[in-house]
């Protein structure tokens, strides 16, 4: 019997990230894991910090009565309070636990927020390149994604975003540090965006929500600061998780925090609780809620990612592949190099150039994700969630690949 | 700024269960927890079995490298294998891990299944009384719920279900043991339903999926057996969780298993994986996946629920309140008694009789859920997920309530 048409269609186009992840698994089976250079998926391989292990064992051992039972859909009160303190520090606002809804990772949180705010046909503005799953999250709840190119340096193009706003714009989603470019948007950019949204709101009567998707906030280099969003714009909503900060992506634990000056704050928290319930999350996993509440100051050792980044830059420099300097997150967004050795690519080729190049890399057992998977076909993404030795050992393969491209 | 219209509307009508749960919390604050008889929510209060605690501590202590990272959206291979063995035993089929998709509780699993199968306007048949959240789950994914009354003894009315099938029927959802009636559907009823669905499929070319929502399978009395579904009908899908079996509702862990003879099995598992991903679940929580994989034979001590049921029956018999004999689950579905002492209720009263009676009970500090919350206004539900002493102590309050009704 049939599956849903939309699901069938979406599966055929598929997620490039997951596709490469699965092809990688097949290649490793064929050639041996140590011969495949898999830079496809952003699956943090650094172990959670020691404090995580201690807290997990402690809470598992205590196993307080009722600790695995239902709580309010928004989460445990003391956990929400801990998250509010963290969000207050990060975003330079004063919020309390009543502003927070615990969620099943940031992906769950984004679905909850979009369910809570979208009417059929509402538009959500997303700057490109972008995490391609946003498209599914938006269409899940009847919304329409409006893609807006970023500036050439991959900062937000506030002018372009402004031009894309309409009376149907329900929200703008930003992601800083950014997947796949590693950019951190400067404070002045966030301010300019806030002003543009305010102007649009004053003109149309509808102030778009600004959704800040921030799972990489703690993964930053050279002690960079990620600009606050909740303090910059009234109608803003933070969605984040501990997947990257604590290397817990499989545990699905994160939180949503609404800005202190959101116009209908209480109604919004009610709607988020409702969406959490009816989408079937019901609540964020109980044990992990209590674990992360004790770990709001902990994080993985980012210097490991920094060393890998630097090693990778060397490899790419040597191979002659240009890339965006990552300020945060753990991705290198690289330009597809000009073709020199292989046959020239016809402009009307059905296969985008980035997909061709990624396929070419795959012939050299290097796995990357084509920029097409992020709405930007001139690029490809390398995730450095792998041991530094794999990065260093890939140098020869990259050079060989370039010699025949 | 606005929240979604549908969310606003749904919140206003609200879930009666959650509403009573929250009113209960307020009453307890006012009168003291020991003076309020809260039978509103099905939140298992029996602690998880000792094997759960041992396994949790063991896995937390081992904390194997990578054990909190991403895995395939469908879940860990060895966990899926363990679930397949359990489902094979329970449903008298031979399935393997490839038939299983791990999910974030049964609520998450139902959303995943409905996302995977529903096209806009597709119909899903639900026998009443019913778990009212089904309505939200179905409308989340563009479906239309078609309610069909059950037989007077709350067995499925296969004739009525058959009459409700159309060319738009995508699925029928059944729940056995049943919330709120405690009925277990006999094997012959499942067989008759399977035959009806097969006949409908042969006539129309569309065989509706039969979705078996089974979180209460292990909560049964007098060693009753819950009839298998996957072996009875080709196009059937099992959705279940460990929320009740192991008293873990806050941890959100369950699984989906597709029948071995499903016509497009591989495509279906792919669609379920996709739906798990894009709805933002991504995967079922990693640690709890590995915990439940070791506990497929464990369960809470059901005799505790049995004693409570018997105590509650005594209380209700004394008060003169008729109820359905629970064969499984932990609810008493009671008839609203005829009014004797208070003013007669006008037939055109805006407040349904069950809501009036539940409000009357609340005046005596007894919390129940009106049958309206399950689509059946002649009844109300009492959940016995509370200490036996609370049940026994409520006897006086029930009698007083009846004396002034």
DSSP A154-203: SS--HHHHHHH--TTEEEEEEESSPTTT-----HHHHHHHHHHHHHHHHH
The helix or strand, by DSSP H or E, that contains position A146, with its residue range, turns out to be strand A144-149
To the question of domain A5-48+301-403 being in CATH 3.40.1110.10, the answer is no
Q: Is the pLDDT of residue B345 over 80?
A: no
Residue A132 in contact with residue A105, Cβ under 8 Å? no
User: Per-residue pLDDT averaged across B79-107, rounded?
Assistant: 98
Distance from CA of B300 to the nearest CA of A (A): 13
pLDDT-derived band at B348 (thresholds 50, 70, 90) equals low
* Burial status of residue A188 (CB atoms within 10 A of its CB: 0-12, 13-18, 19 or more): exposed
How far apart are the CA of A268 and the nearest CA of chain B, in angstroms? 7
Determine what percent of chain B is predicted with pLDDT higher than 90: 85
Hey, which residues 112-151 in chain B have their CB within 8 Å of chain A?
112, 115-119, 133, 136-137, 140-141
User: What are the DSSP calls for A291-360, one per residue?
Assistant: HHHT-TT----HHHHHHHHHHHHHHHHHHT--BPPPSBSSEEEEEPPPP-SSPPPPTT-SS-HHHHHHHH
- Per-residue pLDDT of B354-364, as tens digits, reads 999 999 999 99
Query: Within 10 Å of residue B85's Cβ, how many Cβ atoms?
Result: 16
With both helix axes pointing from N to C terminus, report the angle between A50-62 and B50-62 in degrees, rounded to the nearest 10: 170
Exposed (0-12), middle (13-18) or buried (19+): which is B380, by Cβ within 10 Å? buried
Within 8 A of A43 by CB-CB distance, chain B residues are 69-70
Q: Cα(B372)–Cα(A52) distance, rounded to whole angstroms?
A: 45
Mean pLDDT of chain B: 94
Is B108–A11 a contact, with Cβ atoms under 8 angstroms apart?
no
Query: What residues in A contact B247, CB-CB < 8 Å?
Result: 68-69
> Which is higher by pLDDT, A182 or B66?
A182
How many whole angstroms separate alpha carbon A364 and alpha carbon B359?
A: 72
| B50-59, long-range: CB < 8 A, 24+ apart | B51/B294, B51/B295, B51/B298, B52/B246, B52/B248, B52/B291, B52/B295, B52/B298, B53/A63, B55/B291, B55/B294, B55/B295, B56/A60, B56/A63, B56/B291, B57/A57, B57/A60, B57/A61, B57/A63, B59/B287, B59/B290, B59/B291
Closest-CA residue of chain B to A262: B1
Can you tell me the distance from the alpha carbon of B270 to that of B272, in angstroms, rounded to the nearest whole number? 5
> Is residue B18 predicted with pLDDT exceeding 80?
no
Retrieve residue B47's tokens.
């602690």
Q: Which residues of A touch B11 (CB under 8 A)?
A: 270-271, 274
Are the C-beta atoms of residues B113 and B239 closer than 8 Å to each other?
yes
CA distance B185 to chain A (A): 25
- Of the candidates B7, B61, B105, the beta carbon closest to that of A116 is on B7
Q: Which residue in B has a C-alpha nearest to residue A234's C-alpha?
A: B1
Quick one: pLDDT at residue B344?
A: 66
Using CA coordinates, name the residue in chain A closest to B10. Answer: A274
Domain ranges of chain A: 5-48+301-403, 66-293
Taking only residues 24 to 83 of chain A, the set having a beta carbon closer than 8 angstroms to any beta carbon of chain B reads: 41, 43-45, 47-48, 53, 56-57, 60-61, 63, 65-71, 73
Contact B112 A280 (CB under 8 A): yes
CB contact under 8 A, A268 and B3: yes
Question: What is the spatial distance between Cα B185 and Cα A382, in angstroms, rounded to a whole number?
Answer: 54
Report the greatest alpha carbon distance in chain B: 68
Q: Best residue in A6, A7, A51, A131 to probe B by mutation, most B CBs within 10 Å?
A: A7
Determine the Cα–Cα distance for residues A120 and A124; give it in Å rounded to an integer.
Answer: 11
Residues of B in contact with A67 (CB under 8 A): 250
Which A positions 239-268 lie with beta carbon below 8 A of chain B?
A: 247-252, 262-264, 267-268
Q: Given this model, what pLDDT does residue A347 score? A: 57
Express as a percent the part of chain B with pLDDT over 70: 98
- Nearest Cβ partner for A70 among B43, B48, B53: B43
Q: What is the CATH number of domain A66-293?
A: 3.40.640.10
Q: Which positions 377-396 of A are in contact with B (Cβ < 8 Å)?
A: none
Query: Which residue of B280, B281, B284, B287 to mutate against A (max A Cβ within 10 Å)?
Result: B280
Taking only the tens of pLDDT, chain A with its 405 residues reads 778 988 888 876 666 777 777 788 888 889 988 889 999 988 899 999 999 999 999 999 998 888 999 899 999 999 999 999 999 999 999 999 999 999 999 999 999 999 999 999 999 999 999 999 999 999 999 999 999 999 999 999 999 999 999 999 999 999 999 999 999 999 999 999 999 999 999 999 999 999 999 999 999 999 999 999 999 999 999 999 999 999 999 999 999 999 999 999 999 999 999 999 999 999 999 999 999 999 999 999 999 999 999 999 999 999 999 999 999 999 999 999 998 887 766 655 788 999 999 999 999 999 999 999 899 999 999 999 999 999 999 999 999 999 999
A10 interfacial to chain B (CB closer than 8 Å): yes
Rg (CA), chain A: 21
Task: Select from A4, A48, A279 the Cβ nearest to the Cβ of B118.
Answer: A4
Closest CA to A376 of A102, A189, A163, A183: A183
> Are B253 and B288 contacting, i.e. CB atoms less than 8 angstroms apart?
yes
Mean pLDDT of B2-8: 86
Q: What is the predicted pLDDT for the residue at A8?
A: 85
Q: Are A226 and A328 in contact (CB under 8 A)?
A: yes
Helices (H), B208-339: 265-278, 286-293, 302-319
A108–B286: do the CB atoms touch at under 8 Å? no
Q: Which of B43, B104, B133 sits opposite A281 (nearest CB)?
A: B104
> Out of A73, A107, A286, whose CB is closest to B280?
A107
Specify the pLDDT at position A33. 84
Q: Which range has the worst mean pLDDT, A34-48, B144-158, B198-212?
A: A34-48
B16 pLDDT band (50/70/90 cuts)? confident
Report yes or no: B282 at the A interface, CB cutoff 8 Å: yes
What local confidence, expressed as pLDDT, does residue A13 receive?
Answer: 64
Nearest to A327 by CA among A157, A202, A169, A154: A154
Chain B touched by A167 (CB under 8 Å): no
Residues 6+ apart with CB under 8 A from B190: B227, B228, B229, B232, B233
CB B52 within 8 A of CB B290: no
pLDDT at B83: 98
């Amino acid at each position: 019997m049939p599956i849903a048409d939309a699901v069938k269609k979406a599966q055929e186009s598929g997620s490039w990230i997951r596709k490469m992840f699965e092809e990688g698994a097949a290649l490793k089976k064929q050639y041996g894991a140590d011969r495949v250079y898999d830079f496809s998926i952003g699956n943090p391989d650094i172990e959670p910090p020691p404090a995580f292990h201690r807290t997990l064992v402690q809470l598992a051992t205590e196993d307080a009565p009722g600790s695995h039972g239902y709580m309010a859909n928004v989460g445990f009160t003391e956990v929400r309070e801990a998250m509010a303190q963290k969000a207050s520090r990060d975003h330079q606002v004063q919020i309390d636990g009543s502003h927070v809804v615990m969620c099943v990772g940031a992906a769950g949180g984004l679905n909850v927020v979009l369910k809570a705010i979208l009417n059929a046909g509402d538009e959500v503005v997303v700057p490109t390149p972008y995490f391609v799953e946003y498209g599914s999250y938006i269409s899940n709840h009847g919304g329409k994604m409006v893609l807006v190119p970023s500036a050439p340096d991959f900062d937000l193009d506030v002018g372009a975003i402004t031009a894309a706003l309409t009376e149907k714009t329900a929200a703008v989603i930003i992601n800083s540090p950014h997947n796949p470019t590693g950019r951190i948007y400067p404070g002045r950019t966030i301010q300019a965006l806030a002003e543009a949204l305010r102007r649009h709101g004053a003109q149309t009567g509808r102030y778009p929500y600004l959704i800040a998707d921030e799972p990489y906030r703690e993964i930053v280099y050279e002690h960079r600061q990620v600009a606050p969003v909740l303090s910059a714009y009234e109608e803003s909503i933070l969605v984040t998780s501990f997947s990257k900060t604590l290397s817990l992506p499989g545990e699905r634990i994160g939180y949503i925090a609404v800005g202190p000056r959101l116009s209908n704050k209480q109604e919004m928290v009610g709607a988020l609780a409702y969406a959490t319930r009816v989408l079937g999350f019901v609540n964020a996993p109980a044990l992990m809620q209590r674990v992360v509440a004790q770990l709001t100051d902990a994080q993985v050792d980012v210097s490991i990612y920094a060393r890998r980044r630097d090693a990778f830059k060397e490899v790419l420099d040597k191979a002659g592949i240009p890339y965006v300097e990552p300020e945060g997150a753990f991705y290198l967004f690289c330009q597809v190099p000009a073709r020199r050795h292989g046959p020239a690519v016809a402009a009307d080729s059905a296969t985008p150039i980035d997909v061709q190049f990624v396929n070419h890399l795959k012939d050299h057992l290097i796995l990357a994700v084509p920029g097409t998977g992020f709405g930007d076909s001139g690029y490809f993404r390398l995730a450095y969630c792998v041991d530094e030795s794999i990065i260093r050992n890939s140098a020869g393969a990259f050079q060989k690949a370039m010699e025949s491209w």
